[in-house]
Chain A
Amino acid sequence: MLEQHEIALSVKNLNVYYGGFHALDNISLEIPARQITAIIGPSGCGKSTFLRCFNRMNDLVPTARVEGTALFYGQNIYDPKINPVEVRRHIGMVFQKPNPFPKSIYENVAYGARINGYKGDMDELVERSLRAAALWDEVKDNLKKSALALSGGQQQRLCIARAIAVEPQVILMDEPASALDPIATLKIEELMQELKKFYTIVIVTHNMQQAARVSDYTAMMMLSKEGSRAGTVIEFGPTSQIFTKPKDKRTEDYVTGRFG
């Protein structure tokens, strides 16, 4: 089934250490382009750490060390010649808690484009990005207003607009709806279905219903072995298969709510 899709991201033998602590244990996985891939699993199994490997946000942790390869359309993003700053423009991120800049709505969207030297019409880009994030109609008369005056759900869609304004190929989402109410969550989920036409989306979620609703593929993460604190992907496949006929007993226990 994976073969039908182009591969956007591919990790091989990925290990992450924080100082002496082994956080991710030997993950190999291929993430299809323009699909939604959900990463699920119990708390503390390294879902966010795994997600942050794709845009090298783990580099910000001084003691973090990443081993193995992570290919982005064939290019290893951990190649010493590659600067993480460049990676992050192509692989955007939306965080758990909406974190707009304490600036105007317009400035939030325009910022990334400006620092990356966008040469086109900025007003047009801001409008296009806000439309793509399904926020334009709500804010078009208030672009100069502070982004902090928006509701939580609007702020999160603004963060999505901000991420797509730099025209990335991949958007990483770290529990993007966990701080939102059900209606705002629904809007984000609907938005994701629109976005996947153009972008590869990888979403970490605690909410299994959400994973089942929105994703095409699901990666199930779990601590790699008894007594270990290192997480790994124990099963990966089409979402329908993970939720209806998982191969691994642990996945079955988790998705049926027997633990976790």
Chain B
Amino acid sequence: MNGLFANENGRFAPRLSLRLRFGRVFQFLSLAAVTLGLIMLSVLLIDIILDGYKWLRPEFFTEFPSRFPEKSGLRSALQGSLWMISLTALMAFPVGVGAAIYLEEYASDNWFTRLIEINIANLAGVPSIIYGLLGLGLFVRGLELGRSVLAGSMTMALLVLPIIIVSGREAIRAVPQSVRHASLALGATQWQTIQNHVLPYAMPGILTGTILAMSRAIGETAPLITIGALTYIRFDLKGPLDLFTVLPIQIFNWVSLPKAEFQQLAAAGIIVLLAVLLSLNALAIVLRNKLQIRW
């Protein structure tokens, strides 16, 4: 095909319509990819909401699990999940941020620190059940914490630590060097520079990473089952050394029961878990936008 312009001289074969058609084909294919994902997700969501919505009543949150579906609730699982997530955050956040600060701000760049870096990145990819085995050996038996929420939280803290360190390092690395120089040139010490400038600047990124790590922790089941968290708990969780269960374990338990009502309870549990996850993610976005400093 020849162009509309008079200076088309025959030394080029632009084949414009073919190129444009290719573009449209790929535009369609990528749209199809998005649609497929969205449809699958909606089907899942709709299915679960239809199954579970009628069980989302106040008693569902205030009752303990029971043999009778109509008397069953998430009370102990919600308590366990909240305890676990708080303890995990309390342990993993300071250690993770501390490690990120050390690796980015203090450590010199040599083979040893690079080895540590590679291993932290690898740890982020280790299957979670391995952490469960470690927790079982180290915390449940070694430290004799038993199958307590503390042992579970420590295991979970180990699991999310690499994620917090990696995202923390990225956030700290994104702080412009000029900010550090400005502070140091005024006679600030290295720690004053980190405390007053680097950390406040990196905090939105660090918090985003931490909250994403927490949403990973709240959905994890395998390591907690490995350390022996219980499924059937009919008492309130009063302290860090108490036995516990969490939402995904409770859901897993209901799914494995034959009665149809328990399947619906599981669906309701999934809705609650999803709501918790989505609110954590929303919190991450809000925090990031609130604290973000535009340079």
Q: Interface residues, chain A, CB within 8 Å of chain B?
A: 55, 57, 60, 62, 85-86, 88-89, 92-93, 95, 97, 99-102, 111-112, 115-116, 148, 159, 162-163, 166
Nearest Cβ on chain A to B271's Cβ, whole angstroms: 41
Is A88 a contact of B184 with CB atoms below 8 Å?
A: yes
Q: Are B182 and A116 in contact (CB under 8 A)?
A: no
Q: Which of B108, B109, B178, B187 contacts A166 (CB 8 A)?
A: B187
- Closest B residue by C-beta to A84: B184
| 0/1 string, B174-186, CB within 8 A of A gives 1 | 0010110111111
Contact code string B262-295 (vs A, CB < 8 Å = 1, else 0): 0000000000000000000000000000000111
> Which residues from chain B sit less than 8 Å from chain A, CB to CB?
108-109, 176, 178-179, 181-189, 192, 196-197, 201, 293-295
**Whole-angstrom distance from the CB of A94 to the nearest CB of chain B?**
8
| B182 and A95 within 8 A (CB) | yes
A64 CB to nearest chain B CB (Å): 13
Q: If A97-B178, A102-B201 touch, does A88 touch B187 (CB 8 Å cutoff)?
A: yes
Within the complex, the shortest CB–CB distance from B5 to chain A, in Å, comes to: 42
Is the pair B183, A57 in contact by a Cβ cutoff of 8 Å? no
For B201, the chain A residues whose CB sits under 8 A away are: 102
Report which of A85, A93, A95, A148 forms a contact with B188, defined as CB distance below 8 A.
A85
- Shortest distance between the CB of A51 and any CB in chain B (Å): 11
Residue numbers in A under 8 Å from B176 (CB-CB): 99
Q: Is the CB of A99 within 8 A of B179?
A: yes
A88 to B189, CA, bound (A): 10
Nearest A residue to B190 via CB reads A85
Q: Is the CB of A112 within 8 A of B179?
A: no
Distance between A222 CB and nearest chain B CB, rounded to angstroms: 27
Please indicate the chain B residues that have their CB under 8 angstroms from the CB of A93 in the complex: 181, 185
B193 CB to nearest chain A CB (Å) = 9
CA distance A115 to B294 in the complex (A): 25
Q: What's the Cα separation between A86 and B185 when bound, in Å? A: 10
> What's the Cα separation between A112 and B193 when bound, in Å?
11
Interface pairs (30), CB distance under 8 Å: A55-B185, A85-B184, A88-B184, A88-B185, A88-B186, A88-B187, A89-B186, A95-B178, A95-B182, A99-B176, A99-B178, A101-B179, A101-B182, A101-B183, A101-B197, A102-B179, A102-B201, A102-B293, A111-B183, A111-B188, A112-B188, A115-B186, A115-B187, A115-B188, A115-B196, A116-B186, A116-B187, A162-B186, A163-B186, A166-B186
Residues of B within 8 A of A95 (CB): 178, 181-182, 185
Contact A100–B184 (Cβ < 8 Å):
no
Q: In the bound complex, what is the Cα–Cα distance between A154 and B188 (angstroms)?
A: 23
Interchain CB contact under 8 A, A85 and B187: yes
Q: Tell which of B108, B109, B182, B196 touches A100, judged by Cβ atoms closer than 8 Å.
A: B182
Given A62-B108, A102-B295, A148-B295; A112-B181 close (CB under 8 Å): no
User: Cα distance A88–B183 when bound, in Å?
Assistant: 10
